[in-house]
A and B are shown apart, each in its own frame.
Chain A
């Protein structure tokens, strides 16, 4: 039972990070119908920006600002940096290809992904970067918390999960309750018709990239609070986030959240009960099962092709 509780907490932490990444994929796919392969690397850059800002603020052992402010500043800096990066990528790598055949922007996205990860390696090397979160106010974030049975749920985990969910609720509100969100949904539904209704498509697309990349930046920091980050995390994490988006139904925002959590649970329980090595296999099996039996994903619309 204790192991189960422990694994569930792990699953929620991991799943919420995956969900944040998946949201970026889903948002961009919804508006542009483009699988943004570079998204995983934006996430990686986010975790590095977080690390850099953390070091500038004195590191975790003697920060120049209170701990809560430190976490907030680091997260927002990563979000802002990634949002800027997302805008640049959209403007220079995807916009020229908006009317090209479907395969062209996909390959361009692969190129961007490869370019980003190798540029980061050129500049910062392949060494892992550890946030050393245990040093924050002498381990209080790990030692404090609340107990379920015999298991202590550390404060840091609670912070991670809660902030991920706050971001998701904020996103849901933005997309469903604001004018800009309405424009995004309209563009996603039919780009041409939306343009004819006076929606500035370019602005909507840029805004979508800002949102998605900012979420990736936040996910990068939340990820790195748990384990050290390296320049190579982008590929695998991006792939997982991507799978989460497909499982949940690509294009659907609640779907991406559900997909992320499913992946988190699948991985965490496999690692806990079966073997730490074969969680990829389980996730792949789930993906294939969805492809065969429910290709539109959990909450996605079935694609009705009009000819």
Chain B
């Protein structure tokens, strides 16, 4: 391939190294920005070492409680750090080991419960934090090892079913643990209450400080995150980390090279479980109580979406995934923010796409016109169709665009929702101008469903968004935002 592109200066003039084909050798250079000042900035940024990025990131994160005094925002920040830790742990198993571990959040639960039992009034045990936390991590690692044990010979599919069943079993045991052999071990559905706060450097870390969420937990969580991140960075660069990646790429070749495949699988399981258990101690000590239903399918899907969105295998990627998904889920709880997010994504998506094709910009304008027209027609036919006006602000503006009756007939939600799904799937089947034309009513229908059906029930609505993100990612961009795209040579 003789290079005719203008920005070939980046590739070394010496040509590909031994064992590297020319295309592979220039892989890293592709996808760079075009020549110009931006490109020079990008090249500069690329040579910044990873630890500098980490320090910058931690510094930015730790400013959050300084600029935001609201306890709610701090609390969301803390939860986001927990999600970042969980995503890092899952990344070991899924991203590096290439194993589908569907029981991951059970280890998180095991960590939380173990800490709760070791540090609460439940059995009157109050271990010092400095003992309890490492102990819980060991318990988590051993649990992960044991769950991986029967499935060590098995392929991904069997592993998935065993781990998924393990998650269900964890639920059963914790929910029914209030009457195991006549003893109340886990408190059953009522969980374990009055868990001790963490106790570090001679101070109890209080959860509330003058009625507001105390920042100390946020900083402790951030410190845990930093330690785990750096430790995993080293693990990934170590012999074991390289072995994991070779296992993920081709188990057969790895085995042929004499790698202890089963041992490596168990190890990645164990590492993931240990990180999850560590996160569990933070969760339990902050919430002062643990309940079985926290650690279930919903949380599993949430963490998976973070890892996949960020790019499984990439540490900065999964952290970014958690940073996006966690606040997103939080904002979707609130109808006002939820509405803004929906339209922001809509407008942003069209703007990005419109840069590539002028036609999409026209589509956006057409949708806008379509909306006003539909709204006016609806008002002319029956003014009760647009009666649900809230007035004022952004919501008021949206009300002049989307049909929004005060009272919805019971058949409207199912029909419009199923219609929207059908329309969306239909649009993906069309091509060229037909797709653009079909997009106009589909977008308007989406806005209608979002305003009238989804906003009234935030709980399922935000999980629907999560499910859609997961499916769309797998189909459009399985490598996520920052994941490495494999170079496959056939």
Contacts and interface: CB of A to CB of B under 8 A. Distances in A.
B297 A92 contact: no
A92 B417 CA distance: 17
A139 interface: no
B474 interface: yes
B468 A115 contact: yes
Contacts of A146: none
B156 interface: yes
Contacts of B172: 277-278, 280-281
B419 interface: no
Interface stretch (B228-236, B372-380, B386-394, B457-465): B457-465
Contact of B169 (A106, A281, A292): A281
A242 B161 contact: yes
B168 A118 contact: no
B93 to A, nearest CB: 11
B297 A235 contact: yes
Give the interface SS of chain A, mostly helix, strand, loop or mixed: helix
A92 to B, nearest CB: 5
Interface stretch (A70-78, A97-105, A167-175, A252-260): A97-105
Contact of B475 (A108, A110, A124, A287): A108
B467 A291 contact: no
A236 B301 CA distance: 16
Contact of A104 (B173, B464, B474): B474
B161 A35 contact: yes
Contacts of B463: 114, 118
Contacts of A100: 474, 478
B100 interface: yes
Contacts of A104: 474, 478
Contacts of A110: 102, 301, 304, 470
Give the interface SS of chain B, mostly helix, strand, loop or mixed: helix
Interface in B403-447: 413-414, 417, 425, 428
B164 A97 contact: no
B471 A115 contact: yes
Contacts of B471: 93, 108, 111-112, 115
Interface in A97-139: 97, 100-108, 110-115, 118-119, 121-124
Contact of A108 (B156, B169, B173, B474): B474
B169 A284 contact: yes
B474 A295 contact: no
Interface stretch (B147-155, B196-204, B214-222, B314-322): B147-155
Given A122-B460, A277-B176, A114 B467 contact: yes
A103 B98 contact: yes
Given A108-B475, A118-B467, A122-B457, A291 B176 contact: no
Contacts, number: 130
A281 B173 contact: yes
A280 B475 CA distance: 34
A96 interface: yes
Nearest to B252: A307
Contacts of B168: 236, 239, 280, 284
Given A122-B454, A281-B169, A284-B169, A114 B470 contact: yes
Which size class do A's interface residues fall under? 35 or more
Contacts of A91: 425
A106 B100 contact: yes
A129 to B, nearest CB: 14
Nearest to A238: B164
B364 interface: no
Given A284-B169, A292-B150, A122 B461 contact: yes
B457 to A, nearest CB: 5
B68 interface: no
A206 interface: no
A114 B478 contact: no
Interface in B265-304: 297, 301, 304
Contacts of B475: 93, 96-97, 108
A103 B100 contact: yes
Contacts of B58: none
Interface in B16-35: none
A246 interface: yes
Interface string B460-490: 1101101111110011001000000000000
A101 B479 CA distance: 11
A107 B304 CA distance: 8
A97 B162 CA distance: 24
A243 interface: yes
A288 interface: yes
A209 to B, nearest CB: 15
Contacts of A106: 100, 156-157, 160
Contacts of A111: 301, 467-471, 474
Given A92-B425, A106-B156, A115-B468, 4 more contacts: A124-B414, A243-B165, A278-B172, A284-B169
Interface of B: 94, 98, 100, 102, 150-151, 153-154, 156-158, 160-162, 164-166, 168-169, 172-173, 176, 179, 252, 297, 301, 304, 308, 413-414, 417, 425, 428, 453-454, 457, 459-461, 463-464, 466-471, 474-475, 478
The 9 closest A-B pairs by CB, nearest first: A115-B467, A111-B470, A111-B471, A114-B467, A108-B474, A122-B460, A277-B176, A121-B460, A280-B172
